[in-house]
Structures are given as structure tokens and as C-alpha cells.
Chain A
Amino acid sequence: MLAAMTCAPVLCFTDRGLFCPEGDFHIDPWRPVDRALVTHGHSDHARPGHGAYLCTAAAAPVIRHRLGDIRLDTIAYGEKRGIGGVTVSFHPAGHVPGSAQIRVERAGEVWVVSGDYKIESDGLSEPFDPVVCHTFISECTFGLPVFRWRPQAEVMAGLARWWAANAARGVTSVLSAYSLGKAQRIMAGIAPATGPLILHPAVDAVTEILRTQGYALPPATRLAPGVTAKTHPGALILVPPGAEGTSWAGRFGPTETAFASGWMALRGIRRRRGEGTGFVLSDHADWPGLNAAIRATGATRVFVTHGYTAPFRRWLAEQGLDAGIVETGWQGETAEPEALVE
């Protein structure tokens, strides 16, 4: 697919990622480049090894935390900046705190790179802001009509009921959620709290950074050797996926586990995970969301990436859009979609 795309006027598709020849920068590149514009701090977008980084001021602290000593410049949402022959600006993507879509304009022609995004406001991330453009490069992680999210309030109420029912039985609740974004979104959304919130160190580190930035997050305790079911009865422990059953679990006696992800919409995937409850909660747009976002841009040309690209492209083409696919260089399809970083 990569080879089929020729160099486009404003952005072109290379084996390192999206490249803007006239600005001499890449967007979310997956191999080291001189200058990278980064939409948000998830590891498949903010990669190590670039010469210089540019991201929103809101995304910068987490990216610094994850990538260490990098040359990082920041930009405010909506601020216009000339780079070479183009003007760039960053606009809220609603995906996680600090996440952005990147707008690139050259002589009146506007391209927008969505990064990852979701439409519904989660009460914590800067809400998605549609940006009018000629060409839109959209993710489509959940680009099939089987993915339709319920309103967040409804999902959070379900989570809260699950937690309360566990606590009433003297059982500790363990919920897997990505440490940047999903975990904090749940912390903020699950109030009023049934009991204490406990954070796995990986979740706690990111939470502390966001809290310092001013995001409103309820108090929580870091998972440390002295923290047990005795000191924190009826707790909800937030852990990154894969850290559910490690050494600390023994201190909490009986536990119930759950996983919050858009992939939980599919029963087959829920059942393959075996034990535990699945809550359908995603930081990506669902099928109606992707379609609404694309319509709102007014773009006549759309490139899709990350996800069910082939059917989604065909669908858009049938809607009368000039639609193409951008393959990501390092990810491709994976055997287990739940292994995807949402």
C-alpha cells in the first residue's frame, strides 16, 4: 500500500511515517528522524530517538517522563507556527489529556492528521474539536459498525455498581486500564467513590504528573508494600494491562478483575480473556464517531490508518469521498486486537 501512494503536496507517506517536505518534519514517526511533531504521549506515537520534538504544552510533561532527556518544544492549542513553508497548529483530539490533531496549511491548502481521537467528552481530556480541512488523515482503530459505544455515564455507572457489589462482599476490585488516559478518566468518572482508590506505580506516576498540571483527579494511594486489603478494604486497584496477577495481588485476599477497553464490545474477545468482567470503554472514536468526525471536517479526501483500514476505506469511497490507506510501518495487524494500545 505504501508503494502505491505517491508523494502528496503537503504531506507524504514514507517508511518512517508522515513527512512534510516543505516543513522538513515528520508527524508521529516510528523511526528516528530529525524533527518530530507528536500528537500525544502513547508509546506508538511518541517514540524515542528523534532529534527534536514538538507537542502541546499539555502533553509535554508525560512525554518527558516517558522519553527522558529529549529536545522538546511546546505549543499551545490553536497557536499557529510557521515551519519552513507551512503553518502548523495543534487542536484537541479528546483522546487523552494533552492529545492533539495536527493541522498543516500551505498556501490555503489544509491537511489535518487526527492522531488518535474520540468524540464524546470524557470530562478530563480537552474535548475533540473538529477542524475543517481539505485532506483528513484519520485513525480507524474501531472502524467497523459493530463498534458503538454507550454513553460514558452509563459505562461508569456499571463500573461503579461492579465495584460496590465487590466491596459489599469484602472483595477487592482490580481493573486493568492503560496508565495514560483510561486510568485517569475512570478515576475522574467513577465518583462518588465506593472506597479507596489504589494505583499501580505505573498508573500513579502518570497520575501525579497530570495532577500537578492541574487536571482534577480524586485522591488515591500508590500500591506499595504496606498497602493491603486490611489497610484499604473495598478498594479499587487500577493497573496497566498485564500487571493484574503479579506479586502484590496476594495482599488483597479475594479479588475480582475487570478490563476496560473498546475491544470488550466483542464477546469472543471477552471470552478469550477467561476470567473477569469486560467494560466497553474506549479512548477511540466508535463507528458513528468516526463517521461524524470525518463529515465535520468537510474534507473531500480522507486517508485512513491504524485499524480496519481496508473496509473503512471502501465504505468512505462508497460515500463519495476520495479515500486511501496509510499503512503504519511497524504495527500492521496483530493476532490479538486486545494487545493493541488503544
Chain B
Amino acid sequence: MKRFAALFATLDATTGTTAKVVALADYFRTAPEADRVWTIALLSGRRPKRAVSAPELRDWAAAAAGLPLWLFEESYAVAGDLAETIALVLPPATGDDSRSLSDHMAALAALTDRPAEVRRAAILAAWDGLGPDERFLFNKLLTGGFRMGVSQGLMTRALAQATGMEEADLAHRLMGDWSPATLTFADLVAPDPAGNSARPYPFALAAPLEDAPDMLGPPADWLAEWKWDGIRSQLICRPGSHALWSRGEELITDRFPEFAGLADFLPPGTVIDGEVLAWGAGRPLPFAALQRRIGRKSVPRKLLAEAPARLIAYDLLEADGTDLRAEPLERRRARLAAILCALPPGLLLDLSPDLAFTDWSDLATLRRTAREARAEGVMLKRRSSPYHLGRKRGDWWKWKLDPFTVDAVMLYAQAGHGRRANLYTDFTFAVRDGEALVPFAKAYSGLTDAEFAQITDWVRKHTLERFGPVRRVPPELVFELAFEGIQASPRHKSGLALRFPRMLRWRHDKPVTEIDTLDSLRALLNRET
């Protein structure tokens, strides 16, 4: 753990990417192999199974520090991080725990499902043997939310430096579902030929197009298609089996049993990049329908009938077991179309249609109709582009619709976490309904640090009531919120829920009397569905 803590301290102390890569590469060359595997797993967002719950940790730490729970909570509100709060309030360690990162991970894995008393004793003993930084990291491992200020790309680059392997091969190798508890470092970085892997390829990502596309050059160089609003996925067909992966590298094959039939007809050695959508009457259903399918491990027949899924194919990454990612998009699309044409009718797989346009203003006109097509906007892909590793600017653009907007007033404020600890950044907003103010959305992004600091100062001076970490404030600050969609929601007081609400700007110029009304949001809801 000491070695891992030293790596963390180095990474935490610098914002320079070069220095971070050097420190990581050094760690990947010299740390115990089992620790390397765990570090790679953690830095690529793989979480160990939780051995203890956050409330248990809080209770045990408060008791060990001799603090009442309310005081622990006050401290948590100020530190903004549970792992850090625990590390700080505990009395200094009396022992010296020399176990490595992987030792700790193994010990924690062995604790899952043990009686609370056993887990408590083990956690207290660990706390009492760790220095302040190690204790913080240990708690981070327990609570799961692990970030070290290192992107997966940066980690892959460091690993490539340490092993001499190609970055692209490593990126593919690290995809998918593998367990740091059972995989050795040698296996993890062993070459893995295309054509026999059930692992997804790293997804190519588009950058947002901020201006009009005129500067992209001749329209003929570009392929346009709808930006569908579903689950970006990769379908992998191997002889006798298939796998469906989400962009979040989650294996979702079992959640969409309707695609099992596809695998019977697609040639083995086919990998398709596409979008899973809920589908009805020849067009996508609103995202809310698909949402009912997400997070369900098994699908009841009723739901399968109400929200049937369909895969809309964008791209072909592998055909006949050959990796096509370096080929131009145009050629990949042509092969994809040929494969889909050869399929019998009635399968739940379609080609994402090309949007025909001759000049950019045609496309701008089409884009304005995206909402009617149940799309989020338009994708633009250079016809000559390879299937890039991750997000590379220049070849793939997403040209999203302008969001909906609403003017609303802040009712409650809550302090943020991590870098935003101590700053009021999470707000609850209301619109007018006659004389009343009805809360309808929460948002916590879109303002500058300086604005958050100014609002924090205001919140502290104008607090009317405190509910734990939440403060009620007078309804005076007006904000323009942006959001992507709206749906009915019986769980919310307002009867509706917004998708991706965020603050567009602080309307200093607008009095509360002029904010939007619940009726105007309801009108939008009726138009949407």
C-alpha cells in the first residue's frame, strides 16, 4: 500500500501529463505484478465488489474517533469526501501495516458477505496500521469512487512505455470484462490476435461541433446520419456465440435476449458498432422506454413486448474475422450494407440511414427535424476516416440539436464534493405554478468557478433553513437551464423529469416574477410525446 500511496501522491501533486506518464510507467516496471494488475483495473474504472457499505464505514469511523454521528456528518460536509473525512477524523495509527495493494484487495474480497462484526474488526485494524495518505486510499478502495486524475488513455500510454507494446493493442486488450483477482500481469499484456476475442474494440468517439459545418470542406467528403439517442453498443459474433457490449464496457447480452436470433444469421467473425433503441411502429420510442430495459438483468415478457429493442448499425469493425478498423469508413459501410442485405427480413437489425444532402444548408435544415425523427442531432463522419481509437478530433463530429431552455429560480443549495467541497454547486430549481413555486429540476454544472464562489457567498449569507447539508434560500437567483428532453414522472412533485439539466447562465437581469411556468413545461411535454 505504501508504494501505491507514493504513486498516488506523485500523480496528485502534478497536473503535467508527461510527469504523470513517467511516474506511472515507472510504477508499471517496478511494482509487484499483482499490484500492477490492480492499478490498471482501478485506473480503467473497474471497481472491486464492495465489502462494506458507506453507512457502515461512517458509523465505525465515528465510533472509533469518539464522535457523535452529526459531527461526523458536519465534517463530511466540509471535506466533501467520505474517504477523506474518515482518514482525517481517526486518531493517528498505532501499528504499521505493510501489506501491498493486492494483499489488501484480496483481504477485502474475502470479507464480502462475512458478519458485520468480522468486517468491522478487519477495517478498524487496517485503519490503525495505515498512514494518512494510505488510509485515504484504502477508504477510496472501500467506497469505490476511485479517481487519480489519470485518464484511461494516459494509463494506456504509460503501460505501452513500460511494456514496449503498441498503445492500440493494449487499449483493445484492456477492454471488456476481466478480473484483476484472477488475471496475471503477463496474461493481461499478452498479444491477442483479432478474430477470436469476445472483447469489444475501443469505441471511436465524436467531438461536438460548436459552429456551422461550413469549415469542414466539401459536403461530398462527409457521411451524415442521425445521432440516435439510445445505448451505443458493439455486437460481436463468434462461432457459436455472441456478445453485446455497451460503451461503458458492460456486457449487456442477457438484457437484450431478442438479439440472440441475429447471431444465428450474421457470419461468425462479425463485429458491428451501433445503437440499441427501443422501437415501435417503425421508429424509436422515447428514451424513457429504453430506460426501463437498462439495469434489468432479466427481462419479463411484458416489458419485452412494450419496449422491444432494435440495433441500428453504424459501422463494421470486423468481417470474416479480419480487423477492418484501418479501412476507410466508406468501404466499411459498403461491406456493412452488403452483410445486412444478405440477411433474411424481419431481423431486429437495420443500417443507420445515410442522410442525403448536397450542401451544408440542406443538412442544417434536416438537423432541425431531428426531434421529429427521435434523434438528438446529426453525426458527421469523414468518408475516408479510419475507425479511430477513442476521441480524435477532426474526422467524426456530433452536431447536436440546441437544447431546450427554461428560466427557473433556485430554492435549495447543497455543497459539492471533491474539488468542489465547501462550494455550493448543487442547486434545486423551481418554476411558477400560479402563486406557488414548484421544484422540478436539480443541476450542478455550467457555471464558472468564480460564479460558484459568488453564489456560495450569497447562499451562506441568505440561508433560511438547514436540512443537513442542504440549505433553503430565498427564491431570488434566476438561472437559464438547458436540457435535452422532458418526460412525465409520477415520482416528482412537478409531475415531470428533465434529461441532462444544467445551467446555461445566471440571469442577473431577470426577476423571479418573469420565470417560466409549470404550464409551459407541460406544453413541451405534450409536444415531445
* Contact surface of A with B, Cβ cutoff 8 Å: 144-148, 265-269, 271-272, 274-275, 277, 308, 311, 314-315, 318, 332-337
Contact = CB atoms under 8 A, between A and B. Distances in A.
Nearest to A315: B71
B457 A318 contact: no
Contacts of B461: 332-333
A146 B79 contact: yes
Contacts of B78: 144, 146, 266, 308
B13 A272 contact: no
B489 interface: no
B457 A268 contact: no
A146 B82 CA distance: 11
A145 B79 contact: no
Contacts of A308: 74, 78
B15 A274 contact: yes
Given A145-B89, A277-B13, A337-B422, A311 B74 contact: yes
Question: Interface size class for chain B?
Answer: 20 to 34
B438 interface: no
Given A145-B88, A146-B79, A266-B79, 18 more contacts: A145-B67, A145-B71, A146-B88, A148-B89, A266-B422, A267-B84, A268-B79, A271-B418, A272-B419, A311-B70, A311-B74, A332-B460, A334-B460, A335-B423, A335-B454, A335-B457, A335-B460, A336-B453
Contacts of A315: 68, 71
Nearest to A337: B422
A146 B417 CA distance: 15
A267 B417 CA distance: 11
B143 interface: no
Chain B, interface SS category: helix
A92 to B, nearest CB: 27
Interface of B: 13, 15, 65, 67-68, 70-72, 74-75, 78-81, 84-85, 88-89, 92, 136, 417-423, 449, 453-454, 456-457, 460-461
16 contacts: A145-B67, A145-B72, A146-B78, A146-B85, A148-B89, A268-B80, A268-B418, A268-B421, A268-B422, A272-B449, A274-B15, A275-B15, A314-B70, A332-B461, A335-B460, A336-B453
B80 to A, nearest CB: 5
Given A144-B75, A145-B89, A148-B88, A268 B68 contact: no
Contacts of B67: 145
Given A145-B65, A308-B74, A268 B88 contact: no
A145 B457 contact: no
A334 B457 contact: yes
Contact of A266 (B70, B71, B421): B421
A268 B460 contact: no
B460 A146 contact: no
Nearest to B461: A332
B74 A144 contact: yes
A267 B81 contact: yes
A332 to B, nearest CB: 7
Nearest to B83: A267
A332 B458 CA distance: 12
A268 B454 contact: no
Contacts of A275: 15
Nearest to B455: A335
A247 to B, nearest CB: 24
A256 B64 CA distance: 38
Contacts of A148: 88-89, 92
